[in-house]
Structure 1
């Protein structure tokens, strides 16, 4: 007997199945059904998949996965999709409308976490096609979503044009692959990196043994700063391109050497790559109470990543009006927040798991790595004779890597936070929300490849030492399709970011004055 022919799915049929709780994603005209166990165990995190339910995720899937992974993906196809001449008309993923599936004793059920909030004007910060989430006290969390909940707002974007962007992006991706830019340059690329790490390590050890503890801390911090770039590459499976090998190496650097969680970083960073600069969904711009790069954060919006409201609380109301002044001070201490986020992530994995006795091997390796980290790091501190120098050592080693955080902020904070809806192509969205930092080749190692963020966001698995060559092709692509390829110098980038922060700070200050006036009026009346 021949193989059973798989059905062809219409948009309405797909919507109906999604509303019944199925996780359906489109890849190369195939409808992929994501089983619950796969969703839970996806190496990039479940949220990365949930943001593309009901959407054509072909470009995103190919950008993040190897050919072998793509072949495994196709095994979950349940049929082809009826796509019109102008491309797929996307649905709004339930998570983007505030709906998630939760496991209860009675089975998996829909749960409404937040409700949609729409804008009625266009600006750098917002769009009429944008959907933000807010959680009000009277929100009914029961029931099931309706077709209206997963229908995107009207958009001014042309489906036909966005489909053309997608087709051209696929051709560009093939050009980059054919040019060999996915091949890692182990000797000429990572060879100098390893030599640099070795030099910094040796100097730190010599200074420590000579009793020059602050000098040792300085070079220790420089080493951490450089190692993070390779951990970043490994998290993207962009070094050996083998997930197991890159994950082991990533845990070695991030957990054993740096005291952080590579799995937290992977989940956080992949989400950032896929919903870049979206106030409700991108954790890399959700920095309340310390920073707000859009006035939308002044509305106490809901974060789908953190599963909670980002409140404009007392601390935020005090800090945000001054954020452009406190910018570098806060970023200098950012590494301490990464420790917190890492440990909260691992703890939540442990607490929420229904299979505590059968965690994947890499979870336990991360835990062992953190134990080893605190053993050697506290050992280093115990070898320092007095407490004041120990505290200085901790501060220096953690503050010296802070230029990394400045680099990350420069890449996106000054770019639009307006979301143009699920119709926008992957390529157009990344070019619109990301910027490069121009620097001479001799200083590129200080940026660790992150100065070429536009190309990295379009092709996250490309080894960083090949990003410069790939960026030339991306610039051609941008010119051909009249899309902006944004780039500026380091000083100009800092100025632009601080200008955005100042603009939001001014609005926060005005909001505070208005609120204070209302309080005074109420007190007078009482």
Structure 2
């Protein structure tokens, strides 16, 4: 399937049962897969709370030691898992109503991670509405990385310089994603229009104050800097490793390319196969197709929904893409290298 703007197959004429997605939704509801799963999230939160407490205790007990870099690695993984909790809160997978979801999201996102929950939720909502649409999805808007040959040809500045080699540079660049989230949070609260802007700003300042103070109180300046670099670089790399396989290298849409909801979500997404370890590491987002079709579905139900969705896509003639973890990264990197081809040829 082409990785440039795709011509989507014509939509099947709906039957008397309703649209293609409506029929799939009926099957998913009949299987009971849209029910909340509070016990799962309670166990998950308890486990993360225990790991957090153990990490803080280890940080205090080790003191001014280079062994703290091991703690920084653990903290990076923990930060990634907390970001996944913030993601589930944004989709109301945990709480049914907005208020508790938003309150917990602000605590996890702003206070614990130092990112703007409101800014990210708005950005992610627009991504879900139009995945891989070059004009409507902020996740494929050209920036330092370009996502299609069309974007590469019109790129300027640093993006144009990096595009020929971006397939090789993509993974190293992911290590800056943590810093990018912090910078985006500062920009978000500095501009009018962000909901609960003052609360978000206070929580961000609180995060920065506690993080910096803890490092400088326990570690020497050199060790504190090394700890922060390892933590933030690995956190960014981990987040990128979670999200990169989901859509990169899948077809992109442009202009008036607006297939129906089922095809818009399935044709632009890729599942990552694997067992329970992959589910935990990627927070269930390895079942990206099911997540995009049913964003409020609890994480454990995504694996159960997969065979239903896959069989239904085969029934209605919609391509269902999935690959192993390694293969999904390889496809994404090959796509990024392919995108830079026009600039390499011109050079």
TM-score normalised by structure 2 residue count: 0.91
Q: Does 1:197 align with 2:48?
A: yes
Structure 2 counterparts to residues 440-455 of structure 1, below 5 A: 440-455=275-290
Partner SS, residue 114 of structure 2: coil
Partner SS, residue 139 of structure 2: coil
Which residue in 2 is equivalent to 1:249? 104
Which residue in 2 is equivalent to 1:324? 167
Aligned length: 341
Alpha-carbon spacing, 1:341–1:163, altered in 2? closer, same or farther (3 Å)? farther
Structure 2 counterparts to residues 179-328 of structure 1, below 5 A: 179-187=31-39, 189-209=40-60, 210-211=62-63, 212-289=67-144, 291-300=145-154, 312-328=155-171
Once residues 162 and 223 of structure 1 are traced to their aligned partners in structure 2, the CA distance between those partners, rounded to angstroms, is 47
- Structure having the larger proportion of residues in helix: 2
The superposition leaves residues 450-496 of structure 1 with CA deviations (integer Å, 9 ceiling, x where unpaired) of 10100000111111121111222211210110111111001111111
Structure 2 counterparts to residues 504-519 of structure 1, below 5 A: 504-511=339-346, 513=347
Which residue in 2 is equivalent to 1:410? 245
Q: Does 1:374 align with 2:208?
A: yes
209-218 or 238-247, which deviates more:
209-218
Compute the displacement of 1:420 (Å). Answer: 8.0
Once residues 260 and 203 of structure 1 are traced to their aligned partners in structure 2, the CA distance between those partners, rounded to angstroms, is 23
Alpha-carbon spacing, 1:334–1:322, altered in 2? closer, same or farther (3 Å)? same
CA contact (8 A) 1:124 1:418 kept: no
Once residues 214 and 180 of structure 1 are traced to their aligned partners in structure 2, the CA distance between those partners, rounded to angstroms, is 45
1:335 to 151, 171, 178: 178
Alpha-carbon spacing, 1:166–1:283, altered in 2? closer, same or farther (3 Å)? farther
2:4 to 104, 125, 136: 125
Once residues 483 and 208 of structure 1 are traced to their aligned partners in structure 2, the CA distance between those partners, rounded to angstroms, is 50
Partner SS, residue 73 of structure 2: helix
Compute the displacement of 1:213 (Å). Answer: 2.2
Compute the displacement of 1:124 (Å). Answer: 3.4
CA contact (8 A) 2:272 2:286 kept: yes
The superposition leaves residues 174-218 of structure 1 with CA deviations (integer Å, 9 ceiling, x where unpaired) of 33234332222222x224422431332133222212224222222
Alpha-carbon spacing, 1:448–1:157, altered in 2? closer, same or farther (3 Å)? closer
2:190 to 327, 347, 351: 347
Alpha-carbon spacing, 1:174–1:365, altered in 2? closer, same or farther (3 Å)? farther
Structure 2 counterparts to residues 53-72 of structure 1, below 5 A: none
Alpha-carbon spacing, 1:158–1:452, altered in 2? closer, same or farther (3 Å)? closer
Compute the displacement of 1:446 (Å). Answer: 0.6
Once residues 229 and 124 of structure 2 are traced to their aligned partners in structure 1, the CA distance between those partners, rounded to angstroms, is 25
Which protein is bigger by CA-based radius of gyration? 1
CA contact (8 A) 2:152 2:163 kept: no
The superposition leaves residues 210-230 of structure 1 with CA deviations (integer Å, 9 ceiling, x where unpaired) of 224222222221211111111
2:315 to 480, 483, 486: 480
- Structure having the larger proportion of residues in strand: 1
Partner SS, residue 323 of structure 2: strand
| Structural RMSD (CA) | 2.2
Once residues 495 and 233 of structure 1 are traced to their aligned partners in structure 2, the CA distance between those partners, rounded to angstroms, is 27
CA contact (8 A) 2:88 2:94 kept: yes
Compute the displacement of 1:163 (Å). Answer: 4.6
Once residues 219 and 385 of structure 1 are traced to their aligned partners in structure 2, the CA distance between those partners, rounded to angstroms, is 17
Q: Does 1:497 align with 2:340?
A: no
Once residues 343 and 258 of structure 1 are traced to their aligned partners in structure 2, the CA distance between those partners, rounded to angstroms, is 13
Compute the displacement of 1:277 (Å). Answer: 0.7
Once residues 247 and 46 of structure 2 are traced to their aligned partners in structure 1, the CA distance between those partners, rounded to angstroms, is 31
CA contact (8 A) 2:81 2:283 kept: yes
Which residue in 2 is equivalent to 1:394? 228
Once residues 344 and 166 of structure 1 are traced to their aligned partners in structure 2, the CA distance between those partners, rounded to angstroms, is 44
CA contact (8 A) 1:162 1:425 kept: no
Once residues 18 and 76 of structure 2 are traced to their aligned partners in structure 1, the CA distance between those partners, rounded to angstroms, is 42
Which residue in 2 is equivalent to 1:47? none
Compute the displacement of 1:125 (Å). Answer: 0.5
Unaligned runs of 5+ in 1: 1-121, 130-155, 301-311, 354-358, 514-526
